[in-house]
Structure 1
Amino acid sequence: MKTFFTSIFALLLISFSLNSFAQQKRKTLVEIRGDQFFINDKPTYPGRYWKGNKIEGLLMNSRMVQGIFDDLNPETVKNWEYPDTKAWDADRNTAEFIAQMPNWKAHGLLSFTINLQGGSPFGYSQGQPWINSAFTESGEIREDYFQRLEKILDRADELGMAPIVGFFYFGQDERFTDEKAVIRAVENAVDWILEKGYTNVLIEVNNECNVRYDHEILQPERVHELINLVKSKEKDGRRLLVSTSYGGGAVPKENVVKSSDFILLHGNGVKDPHKITAQVEATRNVAGYSGQPILYNEDDHFDFDQELNNFTAATAAYASWGFFDYRMKDEGFEQGYQSVPVDWGINSDRKKGFFNLLKEITGY
C-alpha cells in the first residue's frame, strides 16, 4: 500500500512539474491596462501614431476562425476538397495556417480570432449540416481539435501574438444536448487553456450572441453568465480575459459591457464608415462601460485604397479592427480566410490591401 501511494505521489509530482514547466516556458503575456492592450509589459505598437491617430495600445486582428476546422459529417466533407488533391485534410489546413503566421505578424498583425466551432465555410449560410465542433454533444473536448489548437497557440506564443479563442458559433451550438453541456464545454476549454499555461490568449464566449442561438445561456440576456464563469476560473492566481460579440452594427447591452474585460464589436452591414465611429461612441456611452478597450474582430468591408474606410474609421475612434474575408461567388482558391479550403497566404487583392494598410498603420 505504501508503494502504491508513493507511486501516485510521484506521478502527481511529475504532472505538476510538467505543468509548471509549460507555464515557465511561455514567452508572451497579454494584459489590459485601462483602454490599452499590453504584450510583455509594453503597450502594443509602442509610441506609434498614424495620420494623427494613436495606434499604441490597439490590437489589430483578422478573422482566421477555420484554423482547426474539420467536418465530422461524411455527407458534407466533400465540400472542402483541396483543388490540388481533391481531398480534405484537417492537419494540412492547420500546418498551412501555422506556416503563414510569421508573415501576418511581419505586417503588424498581433491577434487573430480562431473558433472552436469555426464559422460558416461559405462566409454566410442559413443551414449548417456540416459538423465542426471541438466539443462533443455533452461538452467534452475532442482531442484532435485541441491538438491542432495547441500547435497554433504555441506558435502564437513564440511569435508574440495574442489570439482570440472563440468557443461557440450559431448553427453548431445546437449540437449540444442541453445547457449543462454548454457550461461543461466552457469549463473544459478554460481548464485546458489554463492547464497549458497560456498567458497570451483572449476569450470570445460566442460569435454574435444575438444571432440564432438555441441555448438561452448563449443569448444576449444571459450570456454574461458564461463571461463571469470564465472570469471565475483561475490557476496560480491568473485568469483569462474574456468578452463576447454581437452581430454587425449592434451596440452591446449593459450586462455584457459590465462583465467584459474588453468590448467586441462587428462591422458587418455597416457600409458607411462614419457609422463605425458612431457605433464606437454609442458603446462608450452604454451604462456600465468603464473604459475597456474596444475591438472589432469581424468586418467584411474593404476599400483599403480609400482614405476613409471601416478600418481607418475604427482607428480614428481608437478601436482595434479585424478583417473578415470570405470567398465570394466564382472567386478563386486564393480568396477569403473563412472559406474552406483556405489559402492562408496573402495572395489575393483584398488580402494584400488589408495587410499593406495594416503595415502602414502599425509601422511594421
Structure 2
Amino acid sequence: MLKNTSFRLSRILPSLNIYATSIYLLLSLLLLLTFPVVSQNRTTVSIEGEQFLINGQPTYLGQMWEGNKIEGLLFNSRMVQGVFDDLNPETAVRWKYPDTGEWNPDRNTDEFVAAMEEWLAHGLLAFTVNLQGGSPMGYGNKNWYNSAYEEDGSLRPAYFARLSKILDKADELGMVPIVGLFYFGQDQNLKDDVAVKDATENVVDWLHQKGYRHVLIEVANECDNKSYDRDIIKANRIHELIELVKSKEKGGFRYLVSTSYNGNSIPLPNVVQSADFILIHGNGVHEPARIAEMVTQTKQVAVYSPMPIVFNEDDHFDFEEDTNNLVTAVQSYASWGFFDYRLDGEGFEDGYQSIPVDWGINSPRKKAFFAKLKEITGY
C-alpha cells in the first residue's frame, strides 16, 4: 500500500511543481503590470544652505580656484533642445541636418546623450533641458510648434521617451538635469491655466513614477517675459506653480524647484519666498561687474534666506579674458550657465540652442567655455 502511494505521489509532484511555477509567473507578471519597475536610480541632488550636493556630498568637493570657493556650485549649460521636435510640418523643414537633408528628433536626442560624458569630463555637472524648448534660431519665436504637452496638458509619449534617455544617462553619470516645463512662444499651445496646472502635475507624477532623484525643476523660462499668454505662468502668479510642484511629495521626497527671470532682472519676492534656489540670467549684462551686483541685489530681497544662486543662461563669453561674466559669478559664489546659439553665417558645429544641434565640443566658443570650466573645476 505504501509503495503504491509513493508511486502515485512521484507522478503527481512534477505536475504540482509545474502548476505552482505557472501560478508564480502569472502573479509576478501581474505585479509588474500593476507596479512598473523604475530605473535603478543612482544619483540624488539636494541643497544645504547655498550649496548643491550630489549623493550627499558637495559638488566639486574641496575645489578652490584663484582663491574662490568652487565647492557647492553647479556649473551648467543651456541645452534646452534635447527633446526638440516641430509638430508644424510647414516649419519642420527648416531644421534638416546638413548631411541627410532631413530633421530627426530621435537622432537629436541620441547625439545629445552620446555627448554627455564629454561634457562631464570637463566639469559640467548640470544642464537645462526644456519641454517646450527655446527658440531654435537663438532668439525670437515664430510659428513652429514644439511642446511636450497636448492642448489639455496631457503628456506626449514621444517627448517623454526622449526625455527618459537623457535623464537615465544623467542618472548613470551623476549629472543634474534642470528640467524646464514652459517656454514663452509655446505656452499658448496649452488651452488655459487649468491645462498648465495639469501639465505641471503630469510631469511631476511622471518623474515620481520613474523614481528620479537627480532632477531640478524650472517651472518656466523667464517668467517675467511679456510674451507669455497663460496668466499662471506670468511673474506675479508663477509662485503658484512652484508651490504646486512642492506639494506633490511621494514617499517623503519632493522635487527642488524654481523659475528663471529675464536677463539683468532681479527675482521678485513671491518667487524668492517660494523657490528652493534662485535662477537668474546674464543676457543683456555687458559689464561683468553687473553680475556681482545682481547677486548682491538678489540677497537683499526682503524675504531672501540663504540658498543657491544660479545663472542658467548667459550669452556672454570672453573666456580668455581675466574678467568675464563667468569669472565674476564665481567670485560672487554663484553658479554660471553657458548659453550658446548659432550666429549669422556660422556653421552646424556652432551653438547649442540652434536646430539642428551639434552636441559635441567642436566650435571655438564651445572649446573656450569647456577649457575654462575644466580649469575652474579641476576636472
Q: TM-score range by the shorter chain?
A: over 0.9
Paired residue type of 1:233? K
Question: Where does residue 221 of structure 2 map in the other structure?
Answer: 207
User: Is residue 144 from structure 1 mapped to residue 158 from structure 2 by the alignment?
Assistant: yes
Q: SS where residue 112 of structure 1 aligns?
A: strand
Partners of 1:9 and 1:288 in 2: CA distance: 54
User: Is residue 14 from structure 1 mapped to residue 32 from structure 2 by the alignment?
Assistant: yes
Within a 5 Å distance, the mapping from 1:1-364 to structure 2 comes to: 13-15=31-33, 17-19=35-37, 22=39, 25-125=40-140, 127-211=141-225, 212-364=227-379
Tell me by how many angstroms 1:162 deviates: 0.6
- Residue deviations 1:101-126 (CA, integer Å, cap 9, x gap): 0000000000000000000001101x
- Residue deviations 1:262-321 (CA, integer Å, cap 9, x gap): 000100000000000000000011111110100010000000000000000000000000
Partners of 1:30 and 1:168 in 2: CA distance: 22
Partners of 1:337 and 1:215 in 2: CA distance: 28
Is the 8 Å Cα contact of residues 128 and 172 (structure 1) preserved in structure 2?
A: no
Partners of 1:280 and 1:224 in 2: CA distance: 20
Partners of 2:300 and 2:34 in 1: CA distance: 46
Tell me by how many angstroms 1:190 deviates: 0.5
Tell me by how many angstroms 1:45 deviates: 0.1
Paired residue type of 1:128? K
Q: SS where residue 104 of structure 1 aligns?
A: helix
Tell me by how many angstroms 1:128 deviates: 2.2
Residue identity over aligned pairs, in percent, reads: 62
- Residue deviations 1:150-196 (CA, integer Å, cap 9, x gap): 00000000000011000000000011111100000000001001110
Distance 1:140 1:80, change over 3 A: same
Paired residue type of 1:120? S
Partners of 1:287 and 1:10 in 2: CA distance: 55
Partners of 2:315 and 2:239 in 1: CA distance: 26
TM-score (norm 2): 0.92
Q: SS where residue 89 of structure 2 aligns?
A: coil
Query: Unpaired runs of 5+ in structure 1?
Result: 1-7
Q: SS where residue 194 of structure 2 aligns?
A: helix
Partners of 1:168 and 1:231 in 2: CA distance: 17
Question: Where does residue 3 of structure 1 map in the other structure?
Answer: none
Query: Unpaired runs of 5+ in structure 2?
Result: 1-25
Q: SS where residue 170 of structure 1 aligns?
A: coil
Is the 8 Å Cα contact of residues 304 and 354 (structure 1) preserved in structure 2?
A: yes
Paired residue type of 2:191? T
Partners of 2:368 and 2:275 in 1: CA distance: 32
Tell me by how many angstroms 1:9 deviates: 8.8
Q: How many corresponding residue pairs?
A: 355
Tell me by how many angstroms 1:14 deviates: 2.6
Partners of 1:316 and 1:267 in 2: CA distance: 15
Partners of 1:122 and 1:180 in 2: CA distance: 30
Could you say what the CA RMSD is over the residues aligned between the two structures, in angstroms?
1.5
Partners of 1:12 and 1:253 in 2: CA distance: 50
Partners of 1:66 and 1:265 in 2: CA distance: 19
Partners of 1:332 and 1:224 in 2: CA distance: 40
Choose 1 or 2 for highest CA Rg. 2
Partners of 1:277 and 1:331 in 2: CA distance: 31
Paired residue type of 2:285? V
